[in-house]
Amino acid sequence: MIGMSFVKDCVLDAMEVQQLFLDAVQSGTMEGFYKLISNFQTQSEPAYCGLASLSMVLNALAIDPGRKWKGPWRWFDESMLDCCESLEVVKVNGISFGKLVCLAQCSGAEVEAFRTSHSSIDEFRKYVILCSRSDDCHVITSYHRGTFKQTGTGHFSPIGGYHAGKDLALILDVARFKYPPHWVPLTLLWEAMDRVDESTGQHRGFMLISRPHREPGLLYTLSCKDNSWVSTAEYLMVDVPRLLESTNVNDVRRVISVIFMSLPSDFSEFIKWVAEVRRSEDGGQQLSNDEKQRLCVKEEILRQVQETGLYKHVQEFMSSVNSCCMNKKYTCWQDSLPEIAARVCCQGAELMAGRSVSSTGFCCSQTSVNNLKAVGDEPITVVSGKVVNGGIEQGIDVLVPRSPSKVTNCCGSKPSDSTGMHPAGSDVLTALLLALPEETWSGIRDDMLLKEIRSLVSIENFPTLLQEEVLHLRRQLHILKKCQGNNLEEDLGLCPNP
């Protein structure tokens, strides 16, 4: 702890700083420090203070990023936090308070955000003490450096601890090239957060970040890595209820038709099938027990989706000639097996890299579909291929859950051999309908139809696995709706200078 300074009008010597630390440890308000300092990260760009703070906290909370960083390691890095705002924009302008909150939620964390204009110093102190006494939550502050007589303007950094006797907060400054971790009076930190950002007219604040109560989805996820999420989220959350209210719908099929026939053209980039990806590190034909278990769970969720009453209605609609021809993006049934394998490999590579395929130019070659067997086990489908991105070539295997549903002829084409390759459009669209908020259906005027729809989308009697999958999607939709509001109305807390 030698080198930590006390920011006010003086700088304490090393012995005094160490004594502050020891006092705080003895009083039990440094519990959150150890996980944070073990995952300390110095921002790699002058405007990456928000990304560095968030990545540090997410790793301290051991939240799974849902993809690999490098090699076999699942680890958050600034380069992976490109949801809600592109890294190119953040590098120039920093990231807003609202978008950092959204980014934390999209990354799987539970977040409570407070602006000083809607909070108090006593509430702030309460949360600082709460997180300092636990390693299950952490506080990230957005403040103005000028209050501390430091160089720079807006800045983000986590709080690493609290000294109750002197009412001091320990800031773990992610601009480590400028300032070491330092103690500041909590009242002074509040003053720094209570500054109005001149570019937005909004106050800064703090956010409380903790582990989610529920694990992320296993089969489906919503993507905000492409601009399609803005139009698709608005369509699902705003336009669909209006369409159902203004259209005379008299049966379930008509309801489904109203929703799906007007889907944005880039909808396919919005909801993704979560592929399990592993690197081709050896030529063995055995899957690890963990991989087998995850695949079994995925297949069970997929089976549960297909056993719902809503799925049967969606499948009937998707099997009709009109709906089958409405958009080839929603049904890959007429594609050849090599084309499907290449697309699956590229999707796996996308998840590993945490980027949009369309923006990075992944190219897949030498794809194949194999059935791996273990003694006494059912055959397991694995799509293998080499993915090329620029001059980098990487072999990957993607575990594929089986889909037992039959494939019907589509627009006069022959049925392909892709049955079992991946969840079909009916599975994805059923899951998305189940995830829509309850008020979506309230505009339906036919009472009997409204009762039937609500029965079909109710998850009350669903198996636990499917309930959790749907609740995960609902939570993601809710987050994206809030993020859209932040993007449009609350461009806050920019920190272009560390």
Write down the catalytic residue from 77, 82, 173, 397: 173
Q: Does the pLDDT value for residue 472 go beyond 70?
A: yes
Query: pTM for the complete prediction?
Result: 0.64
Write down the catalytic residue from 155, 163, 422, 472: 155
The alpha helices in 263-336, defined as continuous H runs, are 289-306, 309-319, 321-326
For residues 447 and 433, give the distance between their C-alpha atoms in angstroms, rounded to a whole number. Answer: 19
Are residues 194 and 91 in contact, defined by beta-carbon separation less than 8 angstroms? Answer: no
Residue ranges of the chain that CATH labels 3.90.70.30: 5-210
Rounded mean pLDDT, 435-440: 91
Between β-strands 182-185 and 5-6, what pairing exists: parallel, antiparallel or unpaired?
A: parallel
For residues 266 and 358, give the distance between their C-alpha atoms in angstroms, rounded to a whole number. Answer: 12
By mean pLDDT, which of 132-141, 171-180, 263-272, 388-397 is the weakest?
388-397
Say what the pLDDT of residue 405 is: 46
Q: Using one digit for the tens of pLDDT, what is the confidence trace for 284-334?
A: 556 667 677 777 888 889 999 999 999 999 988 887 734 444 444 444 434
- Number of residues that make up the chain: 498
For residues 483 and 384, give the distance between their C-alpha atoms in angstroms, rounded to a whole number. Answer: 36
CATH code of domain 5-210 = 3.90.70.30
Say what the pLDDT of residue 219 is: 82
Write down the mean pLDDT value for the chain. Answer: 78
How far does the chain reach from its first CA to its final CA, in angstroms?
Answer: 22
Q: Does the pLDDT value for residue 356 go beyond 90?
A: no
Assigned token pair, 216:
């992320």
By mean pLDDT, which of 162-171, 250-259, 308-317, 368-377 is the weakest?
368-377
For CA atoms 56, 59, 64, 66, give the dihedral sign: positive
For residues 386 and 367, give the distance between their C-alpha atoms in angstroms, rounded to a whole number. Answer: 7
442 versus 359: which is more confidently predicted? 442
Spatial neighbors of 129 by CB under 8 A, at least 6 apart, are 29, 162, 164
Residue 446's nearest CA partner among 255, 256, 241 is 255
Residue 89's nearest CA partner among 33, 48, 38, 131 is 48
Give the pLDDT band of residue 216 (cuts 50, 70, 90).
low
Rounded mean pLDDT, 353-366: 53
What is the DSSP-derived secondary structure letter of residue 460? T
Backbone angles phi, psi at 235, to 5 degrees: -60, -50
447 counts as catalytic:
no
361 versus 240: which is more confidently predicted? 240
Say what the pLDDT of residue 182 is: 92
410 versus 309: which is more confidently predicted? 309
By mean pLDDT, which of 31-45, 116-130, 461-475 is the weakest?
461-475
Rounded mean pLDDT, 360-367: 59
422 counts as catalytic:
no
Q: Does the pLDDT value for residue 355 go beyond 70?
A: no
Buried b (16+ CB within 10 A) or exposed e, 170-181: bbbbbbeebbeb
173 counts as catalytic:
yes
